[in-house]
Amino acid sequence: MNHFDYNLLRVLEILLEEQSVTAAASRLHLSQSAVSKQLAKLRETFDDQLFERTAHGLRATPRAMQLAPQLRQVLQQLDQFTRPSSFDPSLSQRVFRIDLVETAYSLTYPFFMPDLLAQAPNITLNSQTWNQESIANLLRCDIDMAICTREWDERSQLHINTIPGELNYIELVRDRPVCLIRKEHPLLQETWDLATFLKYRHLQVTFGGIEHWLLDEVLSLQHLKRDIAVNMTDFYSAMSLCEQSDLILCAPARYTAKMSQHFDLLTLDVPVMVEPGGYVLLWHKHFELDPSHRWLRELIINNVGLDG
């Protein structure tokens, strides 16, 4: 190990993630031959095959699996050690990886991206949809930050206190649920209360890999539940269906305000007492002092901001 090339650790990290020489070569912008040669050096260094060939690609050996968590920690420490102490956004070509819930895009990107493009014309944001692996990706520092929904209502399984201690966060936008209905909906001839709300069938949009919504959690505590006729993953399609049916659609108020202008829909308050939740920006404490990361965080926070 006296003359060990620490760049080989990056190759090992990518091979562990991709389980394929071809895919690793593509991510590293190297030829397959070059990656194979570096894998040979890794095998010699660690005195282990590290990967076995199977019909479905490479399979990590027990030794490689044992190295994986230590490898990630070493690479993070190297990143911290070599990270510049200052940051000039106008010269940076950094690529940031961000996971967002679908409804957060329209509430955040239009507000901070103009400044980002003006200050840092060569920075790239790679956005992915928030999913059930996003927290794990944050904890592994596989992504730089995320914007997700969290609740302040103590009855919620997604309460703000459920955020792991390794992560820092800040609230960006507070929001609350509302109901959408078509303008000729028969419930408009009735008293708008919980009984009416539960009398009609509902349309639900599932986003962000979230299975439990505060509204349904609160109803469940009263041994009540909505009659969900349709589950969808696209708000635009859901609003279109809502416009053409007697289904009730519950959705975040801020997102709804932006989207509903394209549809002939009415907005009603949800007849269930819940504390407003909102959108939070999350990042691993590993990035806390990173100048470029701090610059992007502050740009988002200052441009999106809180306004009630």
CATH number at residue 121: 3.40.190.10
Record the tokens describing residue 274, joined without a space.
């819940």
User: Position of tokens 């979230």?
Assistant: 210
Q: Tell me the sheet residues that pair with 127.
A: 98
Q: What is the pLDDT of residue 308?
A: 38
Pairwise CA distance, residues 140 & 159, whole Å: 22
CA angle 270, 272, 278 (to 5 degrees): 70
Residues 267 and 181 in one domain: yes
Looking at the predicted structure, is the pLDDT value of residue 1 above 70?
A: no
Pairwise CA distance, residues 206 & 159, whole Å: 18
Q: What is the pLDDT of residue 145?
A: 96
Does any domain span residue 89? no
| Residue-number span of the structural domain to which 64 is assigned | 7-82
Q: How confident is the model at residue 83 (pLDDT cuts 50, 70, 90)?
A: low
DSSP state of 223: T
Total structural domains within the chain: 3
Q: How confident is the model at residue 209 (pLDDT cuts 50, 70, 90)?
A: low
User: Position of tokens 């539960």?
Assistant: 198
- What value does the mean pLDDT of the chain take? 88
Q: Which of 120, 127, 124 is nearest to 104 (CA)?
A: 127
Residues 159 and 184 in one domain: no
Residues 195 and 267 in one domain: yes
Looking at the predicted structure, is the pLDDT value of residue 234 above 90?
A: no
Q: How confident is the model at residue 265 (pLDDT cuts 50, 70, 90)?
A: very high
Contact assessment for residue 205 and residue 233, using Cβ atoms and an 8 Å cutoff:
yes
Pairwise CA distance, residues 166 & 76, whole Å: 14
Q: What is the pLDDT of residue 269?
A: 95
pLDDT digits (tens, 9 = 90+) for 285-297: 888 888 999 999 9
Q: Which of 81, 73, 71, 69 is nearest to 12 (CA)?
A: 71
Q: Give all strands of the β-sheet with 277-284 in edge-to-edge order.
A: 124-129, 95-100, 145-150, 277-284, 167-175
Does any domain span residue 30? yes
Does any domain span residue 46? yes
Residues 99 and 125 in one domain: yes
Least-confidence region, from 43-52, 195-204, 223-232: 43-52
Q: What is the pLDDT of residue 187?
A: 96
Residues 164 and 284 in one domain: yes
Largest CA distance in the chain: 82
The sign one gets for the Cα dihedral 154, 157, 163, 169 is negative
Q: Does residue 132 sit in helix, strand or coil?
A: coil
CA angle 148, 145, 113 (to 5 degrees): 85
pLDDT (average), residues 260-272: 90
Pairwise CA distance, residues 130 & 100, whole Å: 5
Residues 266 and 296 in one domain: no
Does any domain span residue 87? no
pLDDT (average), residues 256-283: 90
pLDDT digits (tens, 9 = 90+) for 122-178: 999 999 999 888 999 999 888 999 999 999 989 888 899 999 999 999 999 888 999
Residues 263 and 284 in one domain: no
